[in-house]
Amino acid sequence: GHKQSTITNYFIRA
């Protein structure tokens, strides 16, 4: 299977 990071791991809440 493929693992995948969520996109929110790369950005912070505004």
Residues that bind other proteins (CB under 8 A): 2-14
Q: How far is the CB of 2 from other proteins (least distance, A)?
A: 4
How far CA 3 is from CA of 6, 10, 11, 14, in Å, comes to 10, 16, 19, 27
Minimum distance, C-beta of residue 1 to other proteins, in the bound complex (Å): 9
Token code pair at residue 9: 């791991």
Q: How far is the CB of 13 from other proteins (least distance, A)?
A: 6
The DSSP element (H or E) to which 7 belongs, if any, is none
